[in-house]
Amino acid sequence: MTKCPKLLITGGADVDKRLPLMLELRDQFDCVAVGSHPNLHRDFADAGFLYENYQLNPAFDLLSDWRSFRQLRTIMCKQKPDIVHCFDTKPCIVGQFAAQAAKAPVRINTFTGLGGLYTYNTPEVKMRRAIFRQLHRIACSGASRIVFQNGDDQTRYIREKIVSKDNTLLIKGSGVDAARFNPKRYSATARSALRYDLGIPPDAKVILFVGRLLQSKGIPQLLDATKSIASMFPNTRFVLVGPKVSEHVDALTDLHWSQIRKTALWLGERSDIPELMMMSDLLVLPTYYREGIPRALQEAAMLGLPIVTTDTPGCREVVASEQTGLAIPIKNSFRLIEAIIRLLNDKAFAQKLGRSAREKALREFKIETIANQYRQLYKMSGAEIGNGV
Protein backbone atom coordinates (compact mmCIF):
# COMPACT_ATOMS: atom_id res chain seq x y z
CA MET A 1 0.00 0.00 0.00
CA THR A 2 1.00 3.62 -0.47
CA LYS A 3 3.17 5.02 2.30
CA CYS A 4 1.68 7.91 4.28
CA PRO A 5 3.50 11.22 3.88
CA LYS A 6 5.34 12.38 7.00
CA LEU A 7 3.93 15.53 8.59
CA LEU A 8 5.98 17.54 11.10
CA ILE A 9 3.71 19.72 13.27
CA THR A 10 6.11 22.37 14.56
CA GLY A 11 5.21 24.84 17.31
CA GLY A 12 6.32 26.36 20.59
CA ALA A 13 5.73 25.37 24.20
CA ASP A 14 2.02 24.72 23.60
CA VAL A 15 2.37 22.48 20.55
CA ASP A 16 0.24 19.92 22.44
CA LYS A 17 -2.76 22.08 21.46
CA ARG A 18 -2.35 20.53 18.00
CA LEU A 19 -2.76 16.99 19.36
CA PRO A 20 -6.49 16.73 18.50
CA LEU A 21 -5.69 17.82 14.94
CA MET A 22 -2.93 15.21 14.70
CA LEU A 23 -5.34 12.52 15.88
CA GLU A 24 -7.71 13.45 13.07
CA LEU A 25 -4.94 13.48 10.44
CA ARG A 26 -3.23 10.24 11.46
CA ASP A 27 -5.35 8.16 9.03
CA GLN A 28 -3.50 9.71 6.08
CA PHE A 29 -0.30 11.14 7.58
CA ASP A 30 2.62 9.91 9.66
CA CYS A 31 2.49 12.73 12.22
CA VAL A 32 5.43 13.89 14.36
CA ALA A 33 5.28 16.81 16.81
CA VAL A 34 8.15 19.26 17.34
CA GLY A 35 7.92 21.73 20.22
CA SER A 36 9.89 23.73 22.75
CA HIS A 37 8.31 22.33 25.93
CA PRO A 38 10.75 19.80 27.47
CA ASN A 39 8.11 17.58 29.09
CA LEU A 40 5.61 16.64 26.40
CA HIS A 41 7.14 13.33 25.31
CA ARG A 42 4.75 11.25 27.42
CA ASP A 43 1.64 13.14 26.28
CA PHE A 44 2.42 12.50 22.63
CA ALA A 45 3.67 8.95 23.21
CA ASP A 46 0.41 8.06 24.97
CA ALA A 47 -1.42 9.23 21.85
CA GLY A 48 0.92 7.21 19.61
CA PHE A 49 3.10 10.04 18.28
CA LEU A 50 6.81 10.84 18.38
CA TYR A 51 7.74 14.15 20.01
CA GLU A 52 10.95 16.02 19.23
CA ASN A 53 12.11 18.83 21.53
CA TYR A 54 14.08 21.98 20.72
CA GLN A 55 14.89 25.19 22.60
CA LEU A 56 13.03 28.40 21.80
CA ASN A 57 13.34 31.82 23.42
CA PRO A 58 10.06 33.77 23.02
CA ALA A 59 12.00 37.05 23.02
CA PHE A 60 14.04 38.28 20.06
CA ASP A 61 17.61 37.04 20.58
CA LEU A 62 19.79 36.43 17.53
CA LEU A 63 22.12 33.92 19.19
CA SER A 64 19.27 31.97 20.77
CA ASP A 65 17.25 32.05 17.55
CA TRP A 66 20.26 30.76 15.58
CA ARG A 67 20.49 27.81 17.99
CA SER A 68 16.76 27.14 17.54
CA PHE A 69 17.15 27.19 13.77
CA ARG A 70 20.07 24.74 13.90
CA GLN A 71 18.23 22.37 16.24
CA LEU A 72 15.14 22.41 14.02
CA ARG A 73 17.20 21.91 10.87
CA THR A 74 18.87 18.87 12.48
CA ILE A 75 15.51 17.41 13.49
CA MET A 76 14.05 17.98 10.03
CA CYS A 77 17.05 16.51 8.24
CA LYS A 78 16.77 13.43 10.47
CA GLN A 79 12.99 13.06 10.09
CA LYS A 80 12.93 13.86 6.34
CA PRO A 81 9.34 15.14 6.38
CA ASP A 82 7.18 15.54 3.31
CA ILE A 83 5.35 18.43 4.99
CA VAL A 84 6.49 20.87 7.68
CA HIS A 85 3.59 22.75 9.23
CA CYS A 86 4.60 25.59 11.58
CA PHE A 87 2.23 27.24 14.07
CA ASP A 88 2.62 30.52 16.00
CA THR A 89 4.70 33.70 15.64
CA LYS A 90 8.26 32.55 16.32
CA PRO A 91 8.08 29.01 14.86
CA CYS A 92 6.71 30.54 11.65
CA ILE A 93 10.12 32.19 11.33
CA VAL A 94 12.76 29.78 12.65
CA GLY A 95 10.72 26.70 11.73
CA GLN A 96 10.04 27.96 8.23
CA PHE A 97 13.73 28.81 7.65
CA ALA A 98 14.73 25.37 8.96
CA ALA A 99 12.21 23.65 6.68
CA GLN A 100 13.62 25.50 3.70
CA ALA A 101 17.19 24.61 4.69
CA ALA A 102 16.18 20.95 5.15
CA LYS A 103 14.52 21.05 1.71
CA ALA A 104 11.10 19.91 2.97
CA PRO A 105 8.88 19.65 -0.14
CA VAL A 106 5.80 21.31 1.44
CA ARG A 107 6.12 24.12 4.00
CA ILE A 108 3.04 25.61 5.66
CA ASN A 109 2.76 28.51 8.14
CA THR A 110 -0.31 29.03 10.33
CA PHE A 111 -0.57 32.30 12.24
CA THR A 112 -2.68 31.69 15.34
CA GLY A 113 -3.27 35.38 15.92
CA LEU A 114 -0.86 38.31 15.91
CA GLY A 115 -0.39 38.22 19.68
CA GLY A 116 1.35 40.76 21.84
CA LEU A 117 3.25 42.23 18.90
CA TYR A 118 0.02 43.81 17.68
CA THR A 119 -1.66 44.29 21.07
CA TYR A 120 0.80 46.57 22.86
CA ASN A 121 2.40 49.81 21.67
CA THR A 122 5.34 50.44 23.97
CA PRO A 123 8.55 51.61 22.20
CA GLU A 124 10.14 48.20 22.78
CA VAL A 125 7.16 46.33 21.32
CA LYS A 126 7.02 48.66 18.31
CA MET A 127 10.69 47.94 17.60
CA ARG A 128 10.13 44.18 17.92
CA ARG A 129 7.06 44.41 15.69
CA ALA A 130 9.11 46.06 12.93
CA ILE A 131 11.76 43.33 13.18
CA PHE A 132 9.27 40.46 13.22
CA ARG A 133 7.31 41.96 10.36
CA GLN A 134 10.41 41.89 8.15
CA LEU A 135 11.36 38.37 9.30
CA HIS A 136 7.85 37.12 8.58
CA ARG A 137 8.01 38.74 5.13
CA ILE A 138 11.24 36.86 4.33
CA ALA A 139 10.15 33.56 5.85
CA CYS A 140 6.71 33.59 4.23
CA SER A 141 8.19 34.25 0.80
CA GLY A 142 9.56 30.69 0.90
CA ALA A 143 6.42 29.03 2.30
CA SER A 144 4.17 26.85 0.19
CA ARG A 145 1.09 28.39 1.80
CA ILE A 146 0.20 30.82 4.61
CA VAL A 147 -2.86 30.16 6.80
CA PHE A 148 -4.65 32.70 8.98
CA GLN A 149 -7.29 31.91 11.57
CA ASN A 150 -9.25 35.13 11.13
CA GLY A 151 -9.88 37.49 8.25
CA ASP A 152 -8.64 40.60 10.07
CA ASP A 153 -5.11 39.18 10.43
CA GLN A 154 -5.12 37.96 6.84
CA THR A 155 -6.17 41.38 5.53
CA ARG A 156 -3.58 43.19 7.65
CA TYR A 157 -0.65 41.02 6.53
CA ILE A 158 -1.71 41.37 2.88
CA ARG A 159 -2.10 45.15 3.24
CA GLU A 160 1.35 45.46 4.85
CA LYS A 161 2.82 43.34 2.01
CA ILE A 162 4.12 40.71 4.41
CA VAL A 163 2.37 37.97 2.44
CA SER A 164 0.97 37.62 -1.05
CA LYS A 165 -2.82 37.45 -1.25
CA ASP A 166 -2.63 34.56 -3.72
CA ASN A 167 -0.63 32.46 -1.25
CA THR A 168 -2.95 32.82 1.75
CA LEU A 169 -6.14 31.21 2.95
CA LEU A 170 -8.40 31.19 6.00
CA ILE A 171 -8.88 28.16 8.26
CA LYS A 172 -10.81 29.01 11.41
CA GLY A 173 -8.87 27.54 14.31
CA SER A 174 -7.44 24.12 15.09
CA GLY A 175 -10.79 22.44 15.65
CA VAL A 176 -13.05 21.51 18.57
CA ASP A 177 -13.99 17.98 19.60
CA ALA A 178 -17.77 18.11 19.10
CA ALA A 179 -18.26 14.82 20.96
CA ARG A 180 -16.52 16.08 24.09
CA PHE A 181 -18.20 19.50 23.84
CA ASN A 182 -21.69 18.06 23.42
CA PRO A 183 -24.12 19.47 25.99
CA LYS A 184 -26.04 16.18 26.09
CA ARG A 185 -23.04 14.50 27.73
CA TYR A 186 -23.39 16.53 30.92
CA SER A 187 -26.33 15.85 33.20
CA ALA A 188 -27.93 18.26 35.64
CA THR A 189 -26.76 15.96 38.44
CA ALA A 190 -23.12 16.25 37.31
CA ARG A 191 -23.43 20.03 37.08
CA SER A 192 -24.85 20.23 40.59
CA ALA A 193 -22.08 17.98 41.92
CA LEU A 194 -19.36 20.19 40.43
CA ARG A 195 -20.96 23.30 41.89
CA TYR A 196 -21.10 21.60 45.27
CA ASP A 197 -17.40 20.66 45.04
CA LEU A 198 -16.54 24.30 44.29
CA GLY A 199 -18.74 25.70 47.05
CA ILE A 200 -21.18 27.35 44.61
CA PRO A 201 -24.89 27.36 45.58
CA PRO A 202 -27.09 25.35 43.22
CA ASP A 203 -29.28 28.38 42.40
CA ALA A 204 -26.41 30.85 41.87
CA LYS A 205 -25.81 32.52 38.50
CA VAL A 206 -22.29 31.54 37.39
CA ILE A 207 -20.30 33.80 35.06
CA LEU A 208 -17.20 32.06 33.72
CA PHE A 209 -13.93 33.42 32.31
CA VAL A 210 -11.43 31.04 30.65
CA GLY A 211 -8.00 32.27 29.55
CA ARG A 212 -4.65 33.59 30.74
CA LEU A 213 -5.08 36.13 33.49
CA LEU A 214 -3.70 39.26 31.82
CA GLN A 215 -4.90 42.84 31.59
CA SER A 216 -5.24 42.50 27.80
CA LYS A 217 -7.68 39.64 28.34
CA GLY A 218 -10.01 42.19 29.93
CA ILE A 219 -9.52 41.22 33.57
CA PRO A 220 -9.67 44.85 34.88
CA GLN A 221 -13.03 45.35 33.14
CA LEU A 222 -14.22 41.99 34.40
CA LEU A 223 -13.31 43.00 37.97
CA ASP A 224 -15.31 46.19 37.54
CA ALA A 225 -18.24 43.97 36.55
CA THR A 226 -17.85 41.69 39.58
CA LYS A 227 -18.38 44.64 41.93
CA SER A 228 -21.38 46.09 40.10
CA ILE A 229 -23.11 42.80 39.34
CA ALA A 230 -22.75 41.61 42.94
CA SER A 231 -24.62 44.67 44.18
CA MET A 232 -27.55 43.97 41.82
CA PHE A 233 -27.43 40.16 41.77
CA PRO A 234 -26.08 39.01 45.16
CA ASN A 235 -26.49 35.37 44.17
CA THR A 236 -23.98 35.62 41.31
CA ARG A 237 -20.55 33.96 41.25
CA PHE A 238 -17.66 34.92 38.95
CA VAL A 239 -15.35 31.98 38.24
CA LEU A 240 -11.94 32.56 36.62
CA VAL A 241 -10.07 29.66 35.00
CA GLY A 242 -6.55 30.01 33.64
CA PRO A 243 -2.91 30.50 34.58
CA LYS A 244 -1.40 33.46 36.39
CA VAL A 245 1.22 35.11 34.15
CA SER A 246 3.68 37.13 36.21
CA GLU A 247 6.49 37.93 33.75
CA HIS A 248 4.52 39.79 31.12
CA VAL A 249 4.18 43.32 29.81
CA ASP A 250 0.61 43.53 31.12
CA ALA A 251 0.60 41.13 34.04
CA LEU A 252 -2.06 41.78 36.66
CA THR A 253 -1.06 44.03 39.55
CA ASP A 254 -1.22 43.19 43.25
CA LEU A 255 -4.39 45.30 43.44
CA HIS A 256 -6.00 43.20 40.71
CA TRP A 257 -5.19 40.01 42.59
CA SER A 258 -6.57 41.47 45.79
CA GLN A 259 -9.83 42.22 43.96
CA ILE A 260 -9.94 38.70 42.50
CA ARG A 261 -9.62 37.18 45.97
CA LYS A 262 -12.47 39.40 47.24
CA THR A 263 -14.94 39.17 44.36
CA ALA A 264 -14.26 36.01 42.33
CA LEU A 265 -13.27 32.37 42.52
CA TRP A 266 -9.96 31.68 40.75
CA LEU A 267 -9.40 28.00 39.94
CA GLY A 268 -6.06 28.21 38.12
CA GLU A 269 -5.54 25.88 35.17
CA ARG A 270 -8.11 23.09 34.79
CA SER A 271 -8.59 20.15 32.46
CA ASP A 272 -12.38 19.90 32.98
CA ILE A 273 -13.30 22.90 30.81
CA PRO A 274 -16.50 21.44 29.30
CA GLU A 275 -17.77 20.51 32.76
CA LEU A 276 -17.03 24.00 34.08
CA MET A 277 -18.77 25.57 31.09
CA MET A 278 -21.82 23.37 31.51
CA MET A 279 -22.24 24.37 35.17
CA SER A 280 -22.12 28.06 34.13
CA ASP A 281 -24.77 30.47 32.86
CA LEU A 282 -22.50 32.71 30.74
CA LEU A 283 -19.00 32.81 29.33
CA VAL A 284 -17.42 36.27 29.42
CA LEU A 285 -14.21 37.08 27.51
CA PRO A 286 -13.63 40.88 27.34
CA THR A 287 -10.29 40.50 25.57
CA TYR A 288 -8.42 42.98 23.40
CA TYR A 289 -5.42 40.66 22.91
CA ARG A 290 -4.80 39.86 19.22
CA GLU A 291 -6.27 36.37 19.22
CA GLY A 292 -6.39 33.98 16.30
CA ILE A 293 -9.74 32.60 17.40
CA PRO A 294 -10.02 32.21 21.18
CA ARG A 295 -10.39 28.54 21.96
CA ALA A 296 -12.69 29.31 24.90
CA LEU A 297 -15.17 31.02 22.58
CA GLN A 298 -15.23 28.11 20.15
CA GLU A 299 -15.72 25.61 22.96
CA ALA A 300 -18.45 27.64 24.66
CA ALA A 301 -20.22 28.05 21.32
CA MET A 302 -20.03 24.30 20.71
CA LEU A 303 -21.74 23.73 24.07
CA GLY A 304 -24.38 26.37 23.39
CA LEU A 305 -23.26 28.50 26.34
CA PRO A 306 -24.30 32.17 25.96
CA ILE A 307 -21.28 34.43 25.32
CA VAL A 308 -20.30 38.03 26.01
CA THR A 309 -17.07 39.06 24.30
CA THR A 310 -15.50 42.01 22.47
CA ASP A 311 -15.85 43.16 18.87
CA THR A 312 -12.23 42.36 18.02
CA PRO A 313 -10.26 40.22 15.53
CA GLY A 314 -10.74 36.53 16.23
CA CYS A 315 -13.73 37.02 18.50
CA ARG A 316 -15.73 38.21 15.48
CA GLU A 317 -15.23 34.81 13.86
CA VAL A 318 -17.37 33.26 16.62
CA VAL A 319 -19.71 36.00 17.85
CA ALA A 320 -21.91 38.12 15.62
CA SER A 321 -23.54 40.46 18.11
CA GLU A 322 -27.25 39.84 18.75
CA GLN A 323 -27.01 36.63 16.71
CA THR A 324 -24.50 34.22 18.31
CA GLY A 325 -23.66 36.24 21.41
CA LEU A 326 -23.14 39.82 22.51
CA ALA A 327 -20.08 41.77 21.33
CA ILE A 328 -19.04 44.96 23.09
CA PRO A 329 -16.28 47.58 22.57
CA ILE A 330 -12.93 46.87 24.20
CA LYS A 331 -11.98 48.31 27.60
CA ASN A 332 -15.58 49.31 28.26
CA SER A 333 -16.69 48.21 31.72
CA PHE A 334 -20.11 49.84 31.43
CA ARG A 335 -21.01 47.98 28.23
CA LEU A 336 -19.70 44.73 29.71
CA ILE A 337 -21.88 45.13 32.80
CA GLU A 338 -24.85 46.08 30.61
CA ALA A 339 -24.43 42.95 28.44
CA ILE A 340 -24.11 40.61 31.43
CA ILE A 341 -27.21 42.08 33.08
CA ARG A 342 -29.17 41.77 29.85
CA LEU A 343 -28.44 38.05 29.53
CA LEU A 344 -29.01 37.36 33.22
CA ASN A 345 -32.41 39.08 33.02
CA ASP A 346 -33.51 37.52 29.72
CA LYS A 347 -32.92 33.78 29.91
CA ALA A 348 -34.91 33.07 26.73
CA PHE A 349 -32.77 35.49 24.70
CA ALA A 350 -29.57 34.06 26.21
CA GLN A 351 -30.63 30.53 25.30
CA LYS A 352 -31.49 31.64 21.76
CA LEU A 353 -28.00 33.10 21.33
CA GLY A 354 -26.50 29.89 22.70
CA ARG A 355 -28.44 27.71 20.24
CA SER A 356 -27.37 29.88 17.30
CA ALA A 357 -23.75 29.79 18.47
CA ARG A 358 -23.83 26.00 18.66
CA GLU A 359 -25.26 25.74 15.14
CA LYS A 360 -22.43 27.95 13.85
CA ALA A 361 -19.81 25.97 15.78
CA LEU A 362 -21.07 22.67 14.38
CA ARG A 363 -20.82 24.09 10.86
CA GLU A 364 -17.43 25.77 11.15
CA PHE A 365 -15.33 24.66 14.13
CA LYS A 366 -15.59 20.87 14.38
CA ILE A 367 -12.20 19.17 14.43
CA GLU A 368 -13.27 16.99 11.48
CA THR A 369 -14.08 20.09 9.40
CA ILE A 370 -10.75 21.76 10.19
CA ALA A 371 -8.79 18.54 9.54
CA ASN A 372 -10.45 18.15 6.13
CA GLN A 373 -9.50 21.71 5.23
CA TYR A 374 -5.88 20.98 6.11
CA ARG A 375 -5.95 17.72 4.12
CA GLN A 376 -7.08 19.70 1.09
CA LEU A 377 -4.43 22.33 1.73
CA TYR A 378 -1.64 19.73 1.90
CA LYS A 379 -2.90 18.16 -1.29
CA MET A 380 -3.13 21.53 -3.09
CA SER A 381 0.41 22.30 -1.93
CA GLY A 382 1.80 19.21 -3.58
CA ALA A 383 1.67 16.45 -0.95
CA GLU A 384 0.90 12.99 -2.30
CA ILE A 385 -1.62 11.65 0.22
CA GLY A 386 -1.76 7.89 0.55
CA ASN A 387 -4.32 5.59 2.13
CA GLY A 388 -2.13 3.96 4.75
CA VAL A 389 1.12 2.02 5.09
Q: Are 136 and 93 in contact (CB under 8 A)?
A: yes
State the helix-helix crossing angle for 219-232 and 333-345, rounded to 10 degrees.
50
Task: Give the model confidence (pLDDT) of 187-205 as tens digits.
Answer: 999 999 999 999 999 999 9
- Give which of 152, 160, 87, 99 is closest to 129, Cα–Cα: 160
What pLDDT, on the 0 to 100 scale, is given for residue 388?
43
What pLDDT, on the 0 to 100 scale, is given for residue 383?
60
Task: Just give the CATH number of 183-364.
Answer: 3.40.50.2000
Instruction: Give start and end residues of each alpha helix (H) in 151-284.
Output: 151-159, 188-198, 219-232, 254-263, 273-278
Evaluate the CA torsion angle 8, 21, 286, 219 in order and state its sign: negative
Q: How far apart are CA 320 and CA 329, in angstroms?
A: 13
Mean pLDDT, to the nearest integer, of 243-256? Answer: 90
Task: Give the model confidence (pLDDT) of 319-357 as tens digits.
Answer: 999 999 999 999 999 999 999 999 999 999 999 999 999
Q: Categorize the per-residue pLDDT at 2 as very low, low, confident or very high, splitting at 50, 70 and 90.
A: low
Which residues contact residue 371 at a Cβ distance below 8 angstroms, ignoring those fewer than 6 apart?
21, 24, 25, 175
- Mapped onto helix, strand or coil, the DSSP state of residue 17 is helix
Task: Give the model confidence (pLDDT) of 15-63 as tens digits.
Answer: 999 999 999 999 999 999 999 999 999 999 999 999 999 999 987 788 9
Domain boundaries, the chain: 6-175+366-380, 183-364
Q: Are 286 and 117 in contact (CB under 8 A)?
A: no
* Model pTM score: 0.93
Whether domain 6-175+366-380 has CATH 3.40.50.2300: the reply is no
Q: Is the pLDDT of residue 386 over 60?
A: no
Edge-to-edge strand ranges of the sheet holding 83-87: 50-53, 30-35, 6-10, 83-87, 106-111, 145-148, 168-170
